[in-house]
Structure 1
């Protein structure tokens, strides 16, 4: 199974820009130094390889003229996370702002001097922050390139920026006690202290709407039946908070935060249990199984008094009593669920999204092409087919601006079912 980091690399290094493509290639080992002795040649330890594995990004608007960009970088020296000083000494950062995907029109460009003021290590990531001058446009695409000195190795990241939007999500970042930089994700754990801040500071009153709602998981990729009319969500409660002050939400659910209640778009924040993105509760372990199980199997497990025992028995029966294979299959499946939660959580859990469903069953795509409102995932070979494409269209909503829905086709059936069967017989480990 490819790792979460490997998947991110595909997301950031194969973007379909006209005239701009990643030159990131399979990393080669740094040549070993030759140490000589008068008696014999001593073979040194292999040099640890430096590599940038993946980049994620977000932005916050200072005002209509300045934008602050944050890059969250997975960078390693061998198997160890690189230190900020090592990163600064080895890597370079350049950027270009394009008017849109697939165009050559440049709205701005520059290189960023990396130093201890703008490069930090937070948890397991290197976080880079820098300012760009906002062009006089409503929209643009920032292409950042991190390259390694003295090599051709580079990794790209694309970030769409709404320079004039000025919504709550564009102005406010979510900061925790452990971080001087805003979170890149849309979720926070219950009882975790956090603060909502603007780049320029200041204390404001914010309006919060709370929804105690359970969203449905993604439907089958072959289900082409027209969707019914979307149900409106009822607000369960509302209250006000202050920015730049410590906060703590104790109830799980969806919170939407506004600077002004007349605005249609807020800052959606999903509050989840303390173990998320891991899935550990027995009742939560059952839910993602709908992607590889029948309705009858799911209903039988639901009837059980002991979920955990019944789930173990279920996996063991799928593997014909082979306990080691069942254990490995469980680890692989719920590892994918955890990665989907890390990558794709929007206003609902990542595993419930269309992207999460495809990722869990089929794994990381081999290629991703992205445009303003669409992503296309390509799998070189899955099931009985080659070069399979899944198209996701961006769907605007009042909570987040990066939620996507799959374009469904009945023709996915001969691709989908063989992979599901591979999960059920233990072939995917």
Structure 2
């Protein structure tokens, strides 16, 4: 029987943008995150997300073990790097909360136990290895550059099984007071490795891996391995405009470009900071003949937030007619056209329009934050579903598939969206939706709710 990791997804709201008229007055990042925290408090959690959440800023003072609610693990995101021929280093970004407080290093060590088991695959329960991880200031750190980011980084080493090419590590966080267990899965390639199994992007300030596929223009990035090896890498930069996701009901295969035109190249040295001065998709390679490398999407200074009208106009395609999309894309004054678009949909009600604009672009920003791969997160299939329907109620995962389950939408008791993993030369965590025309009765009513301002966050 497949191992199923059920993830209780929590809606995340962040600030939107400031562009004047209807595109002003959007919820501040702090207020939006407070809304997310309140929703998380109501929902609770028994299993953790595999994507990072960003709850509201609050006190991180350790709380008494006997006072108030129990600690809850609300987010886990992980990756691995090969440390040497016999060991893999695992990094986990975790967020744990107790009421409005966020766990410190001492809280995590005092209230959680971490165990792991390695299996050959999701449907094979033969144990290849297992262990317990002591959570202390020796392997847990709170060093994060963003003051509103409350994740802790846990790192530990795992011995490589000698007889298998790959496996899946199932990690279990146990809250010691309640016994509540939080599961998280991490596929690991032990043999036949790629560059991305050894090198990733680290934060130059903290010396910790950055568990995301994007940066912003003029950011200082550092690509390195666990040992801090110095070696040259070739970097290709592309300026290709990838298409946004098509309708969930569009079962016609889309053509994809067989090759991308390289805009520019450079050479960098691992373990040495480098500034990427231009937007685009970067591919770091050990050799230009390699089929796979380490990809990084570099956006403008506000990414994952969209602020410029010419960028804000694109994501509304998911809730617009063909005619509306055409008019918006042909507009000479995009900002005025976008204002007119929202006001027309909301029958001239500016309050409803502002509220809907805020809700919609909060989801666009969070889709960028969570699902950016070789293209912006809002353009991905996951991003499209997340923007329109919000976070799923639970997720079922296997090595190459994710199923998002929504308990009730548009008078349907349960609806599933299946995503299959489609790795490419840039990233391995890109997924594509399995499309069905039968989604129409669910999809169109929710789109109509957006168009009438009925969606509220």
TM-score (norm 1): 0.88
> Is the alpha carbon distance of 1:322 and 1:209 closer, same or farther for their aligned partners in structure 2, counting shifts above 3 Å?
same
Residue of 154, 167, 190 corresponding to 2:194: 167
Q: Deviations over 1:266-312 (max 9, x none)?
A: 00111111111111111111110000011221222234343233322
- The count of corresponding residues between Structure 1 and Structure 2 is 403
Residue of 204, 218, 228 corresponding to 2:231: 204
Equivalent residue, structure 2, for 1:57: 78
- 1:20-419 equivalences under 5 Å are 47=68, 49-121=70-142, 122=144, 123=146, 124=149, 125-136=151-162, 137-228=164-255, 230-419=257-446
> Is the alpha carbon distance of 1:9 and 1:117 closer, same or farther for their aligned partners in structure 2, counting shifts above 3 Å?
farther
> Is the alpha carbon distance of 1:32 and 1:407 closer, same or farther for their aligned partners in structure 2, counting shifts above 3 Å?
closer
Alpha-carbon distance in 2 for matches of 1:252, 1:9: 39
Query: Does the 8 A contact of 2:46 with 2:181 survive in 1?
Result: no
Query: Does the 8 A contact of 2:45 with 2:74 survive in 1?
Result: no
Query: What SS does structure 2 have at the residue aligned with 1:385?
Result: coil
Alpha-carbon distance in 1 for matches of 2:406, 2:70: 28
Q: Deviations over 1:131-151 (max 9, x none)?
A: 000112111111111111121
Q: Deviations over 1:339-394 (max 9, x none)?
A: 11111110000110011111111111112111111111111111242221111111
Does residue 3 (structure 1) correspond to residue 29 (structure 2)? The answer is no
Alpha-carbon distance in 1 for matches of 2:65, 2:372: 43
1:202, CA displacement in angstroms? Answer: 1.7
Equivalent residue, structure 1, for 2:33: none
The structure number with the bigger radius of gyration is 1
Alpha-carbon distance in 2 for matches of 1:394, 1:324: 41
Alpha-carbon distance in 2 for matches of 1:32, 1:82: 12
1:152, CA displacement in angstroms? Answer: 1.7
Alpha-carbon distance in 1 for matches of 2:49, 2:214: 27
Alpha-carbon distance in 2 for matches of 1:63, 1:372: 24
Alpha-carbon distance in 2 for matches of 1:150, 1:162: 35
Alpha-carbon distance in 2 for matches of 1:279, 1:397: 26
For structure 1, which segment, 82-91 or 336-345, has the greater mean C-alpha deviation from structure 2 after superposition? Answer: 82-91
Alpha-carbon distance in 2 for matches of 1:9, 1:345: 27
Alpha-carbon distance in 2 for matches of 1:60, 1:31: 36
Query: What SS does structure 2 have at the residue aligned with 1:416?
Result: helix
- Post-superposition, which runs of at least 4 consecutive aligned residues in structure 1 deviate over 6 A? 5-11, 30-33
Query: Does the 8 A contact of 2:234 with 2:288 survive in 1?
Result: yes
For structure 1, which segment, 244-253 or 6-15, has the greater mean C-alpha deviation from structure 2 after superposition? Answer: 6-15
> Is the alpha carbon distance of 1:314 and 1:49 closer, same or farther for their aligned partners in structure 2, counting shifts above 3 Å?
farther
What residue ranges of structure 2 are gaps of 5+ in the alignment?
1-8, 13-35, 51-62
TM-score (norm 2): 0.83
Alpha-carbon distance in 2 for matches of 1:32, 1:274: 42
Query: What SS does structure 2 have at the residue aligned with 1:240?
Result: strand
> Is the alpha carbon distance of 1:405 and 1:9 closer, same or farther for their aligned partners in structure 2, counting shifts above 3 Å?
farther
Query: Does the 8 A contact of 2:70 with 2:178 survive in 1?
Result: no
Does residue 424 (structure 1) correspond to residue 454 (structure 2)? The answer is no
